[in-house]
Amino acid sequence: MRTERLAADSQGIARAASLLRSGRLVAFGTETVYGLGADATNAQAVASIFAAKRRPRFNPLICHYASAAAAFTDVTANALANELAGRFWPGPLTLVLPRRAESRVATLTTAGLASLAVRVPREPAAQALLEATARPLAAPSANRSGRMSPTTAAHVLAELDGCIAAVLDSGPACVGVESTVLDLTGSHPILLRPGGLEIEDIMTLTGPLGAPQPGDAVRAPGMLASHYAPLLPMRLDTDRVGPEEALLAFGPAVPGAAITFQLSSARDLTEAAARLFAGLRALDEEGTRLGLARIAVMPVPARGLGRAIVDRLIHAAAPRPDSEPK
């Protein structure tokens, strides 16, 4: 299959919408990362997302909508959901809510759960695509399962060229880390994934957030230990590097690495989040080519967007399933 490269103009958006409506897969840019979209009401189309990503079927997908009103036709919103949506949508926030019995979203989308994750993205091209498609779009990040999320159309093509119908190129994703995921199905909101919306902002409305309990597989099915992983091993929180290492720097780079990628020399967390996945990809590619041993990462503070960055780094550094002793 040839993957069409579509510009994010009216013609490209119309083509992308028509492919999606006929059950094909189209990757598209959002403000967080690129998503791999399918018509969420078409079970076959949703099944092909799992196939293209090689994603385990127990890991549910987020549904994207053009507006909160559209999202709340598929889930039951409580008062807090309405408040959060009014304040932060469109934007990098995903809400997990009880799925409505009359929702036409395919059950495979939610991996059979009684809840559904919904989000209204801010990126104008994604908004236009959702309007033109007039269907909820199921869209996980457009990478192979377990790998780093794509923040450009080129990243998407590096892994999925020939496996999907098209990619809608809206330029680099400006936030750079995935949405913050909140579970609102219980009596108290639970943070399932720190992300592009700072929890300090969320907590001004919600108060303190709960955390998923260890082993709470039903609540956070996608939070597998190894995730967002480059090919090279990773070493975190370092203040020393050697010539066999690639360095992911935050602030003035410690000397001695073979190659360095600077997340933000001014230690700006917004800039660092936007550059995180591109940096990991660049070091992984160049470091592998040079035969380096690993990627060493300087400390990043776990506040604001730094929480999402540290979360992604810890997952990227976790032992890989295929490297564990048999």
Lateral strand order in the sheet of 26-29: 4-7, 166-169, 26-29, 34-39, 137-138, 62-64, 115-119, 93-98, 180-183, 190-193
Q: Which stretch binds Mg ion (CB under 5 A): 136-144, 158-166, 275-283, 287-295?
A: 136-144
Least Cβ distance, residue 71 to ligand TXA (angstroms): 13
Lateral strand order in the sheet of 234-235: 234-235, 294-297, 245-249, 259-262
Both tokens assigned to 255: 């000397």
Sole binder of ligand TXA in the list 48, 103, 115, 151 (CB under 6 A): 115
Binding of ligand TXA by 279 (CB under 6 A):
no
- Which of Mg ion, ligand TXA, none does residue 61 bind (CB under 5 to 8 Å by kind)? ligand TXA
Sign, Cα dihedral of 208, 211, 213, 219:
positive
- Which of ligand TXA, Mg ion, none does residue 32 bind (CB under 5 to 8 Å by kind)? ligand TXA
Binding of Mg ion by 141 (CB under 5 A):
yes
- Nearby residues of 187 by Cβ (< 8 Å), 6 or more positions away: none
Binding of ligand TXA by 181 (CB under 6 A):
yes
Per the document, the length of the chain is: 326
Q: Is the bond preceding residue 90 a cis peptide, omega within 30 degrees?
A: yes
| Cβ 182 vs Cβ 194: under 8 Å | no
Binding of ligand TXA by 35 (CB under 6 A):
yes
Nearer Cβ to ligand TXA, position 273 or 296? Answer: 273
Nearer Cβ to Mg ion, position 90 or 140? Answer: 140
Nearer Cβ to ligand TXA, position 89 or 241? Answer: 89
Binding of ligand TXA by 229 (CB under 6 A):
no
Binding of ligand TXA by 120 (CB under 6 A):
no
- Which of ligand TXA, Mg ion, none does residue 35 bind (CB under 5 to 8 Å by kind)? ligand TXA
Name the burial class of residue 243, with classes exposed (0-12), middle (13-18) and buried (19+) by CB atoms within 10 angstroms of its CB. Answer: exposed
Q: How many residues bind ligand TXA (CB under 6 A)?
A: 29
- Which of ligand TXA, Mg ion, none does residue 221 bind (CB under 5 to 8 Å by kind)? ligand TXA
Sole binder of ligand TXA in the list 3, 30, 48, 127 (CB under 6 A): 30
As a whole number of angstroms, the longest Cα–Cα distance in the chain is 60
Binding of ligand TXA by 33 (CB under 6 A):
yes
SS3 218: coil
- Report angle CA 309, 310, 315 to the nearest 5 degrees: 100
3-state helix, strand, coil in the chain (%, to 5): 30, 20, 50
SS3 261: strand
Least Cβ distance, residue 186 to ligand TXA (angstroms): 12
| In the block, residue with structure tokens 């103009």 | 9
Binding of ligand TXA by 165 (CB under 6 A):
no
Least Cβ distance, residue 260 to ligand TXA (angstroms): 28
Binding mask 42-81 for ligand TXA (x = CB under 6 A): -----------------xxxx-------------------
| In the block, residue with structure tokens 């079927």 | 57
Q: Which residues of this protein are in contact with Mg ion, per CB under 5 A?
A: 141
- Interface residues toward ligand TXA, by CB under 6 A: 30, 32-33, 35, 59-62, 94, 96, 110, 113, 115-117, 119, 139-141, 178-179, 181, 192-193, 219-223
